[in-house]
């Protein structure tokens, strides 16, 4: 985890310190077979996060992450993009984004990410939303984007701030280093926690007071509110096809962690178990992207 975070911090520090200067290509291309890519057709996305660079109008872009997340991004105008996809087998999301140039290589953006469960029903159905605004700096090859948003979810009783940063660094004409980091603190509702029932004197209540030696304690099932910190980081090497530079494969490491809150689960036999909402999951990450090109749907009203 520390290596991943240090890599991301180093990656963004190098971008700023070098002023986004291009690195010389270190590999020779056989021009008799292939054409060296001159445009970065993948500057519109980091991994899950959209960059501040807007997909051109009427252009369609496809992205797959770890084979279970399928996403399409479409340029409605040169400034307005919408992305939508499914995370198999449970979730659907949609994410419109509006960006505008304010200076050379500088953009402001605003957007929203809405996520919902496909098949689960309440209370297991998840509903999440992030309304965000951000700033982007750089050209199509070397750039970073920082955003701050307001996160709400049905499993959290309060809204909270979400922070994320993403970037792309050109290493050669066909190799890019890309990464993103998401960070959020707030509260989390833990459902169906077993708790003892107390009388007016603060003593635990027995199910059968007439048999105090053998009787279990009364318990209720309650919902607990605990503190929560959520972190998601992903870093990859993006390899662009020399034969068809609208396609790319990316390989790296993703890390998800949820932590910050402890609570007691109290049983009828008088024992209490100290639990936490900690969850950590590092996983290799693989992405495939393709810029499909101009798509103009013919709509009849």
- State the pLDDT at residue 29: 38
Residues 6+ apart with CB under 8 A from 235: 4, 7, 8, 11, 177, 178, 179, 252, 253
**Could you report the per-residue pLDDT of 235-291, keeping only the tens digit for each?**
999 999 988 999 999 999 999 999 998 999 999 999 999 999 999 999 999 999 999
Per-residue pLDDT tens digits for 15-30: 433 433 333 333 333 4
Average pLDDT over residues 185-196: 92
This prediction has a pTM of: 0.79
Residue 242, pLDDT score = 87
Q: How far apart are CA 167 and CA 238, in angstroms?
A: 12
Residue 205 and residue 97: Cα distance in Å, rounded?
A: 56
Percent of all residues in the chain with a pLDDT value above 70, rounded to a whole number: 84
Q: Could you tell me the pLDDT band of residue 122, with boundaries at 50, 70 and 90?
A: low
The rounded distance, in Å, linking the Cα atoms of 29 and 14 is 26
3-state secondary structure 218-261: CEEEEEEEEEEEEEEEEEEEEEECCCCCCEEEEEEEEEEEEECC
């Amino acid at each position: 985890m520390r290596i991943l975070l240090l890599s991301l911090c180093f990656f963004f520090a190098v971008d700023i310190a070098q002023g986004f200067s291009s690195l010389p290509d270190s590999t020779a291309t056989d021009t008799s077979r292939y054409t060296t890519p001159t445009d970065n057709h993948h500057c519109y996305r980091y991994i899950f996060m959209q960059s501040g660079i807007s997909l051109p109008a009427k252009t369609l872009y496809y992205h797959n992450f770890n084979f279970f997340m399928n996403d399409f991004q479409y340029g409605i105008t040169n400034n307005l993009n919408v992305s939508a996809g499914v995370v198999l087998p449970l979730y659907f999301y949609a994410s419109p984004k509006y960006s505008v140039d304010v200076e050379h290589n500088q953009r402001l953006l605003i957007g929203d990410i809405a996520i919902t469960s496909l098949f689960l029903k309440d209370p297991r159905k998840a509903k999440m939303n992030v309304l965000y605004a951000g700033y982007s700096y750089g050209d199509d090859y070397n750039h970073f984007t920082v955003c701050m948003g307001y996160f709400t979810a049905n499993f959290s009783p309060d809204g909270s701030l979400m922070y994320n940063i993403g970037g792309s660094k050109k290493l050669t004409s066909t190799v890019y280093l890309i990464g993103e980091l998401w960070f959020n603190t707030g509260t989390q509702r833990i459902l169906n926690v077993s708790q003892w029932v107390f009388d007016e004197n603060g003593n635990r209540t027995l199910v059968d007071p007439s048999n105090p030696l053998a009787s279990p304690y009364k318990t209720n099932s309650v919902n607990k509110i605990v503190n929560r910190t959520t972190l998601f980081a992903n870093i990859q090497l993006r390899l662009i096809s020399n034969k068809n530079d609208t396609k790319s494969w990316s390989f790296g490491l993703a890390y998800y962690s949820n932590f910050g809150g402890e609570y007691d689960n109290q049983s009828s036999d008088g024992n209490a178990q100290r639990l936490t909402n900690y969850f950590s999951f590092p996983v290799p990450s693989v992405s495939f992207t393709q810029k499909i090109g101009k798509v103009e749907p013919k709509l009849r009203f």
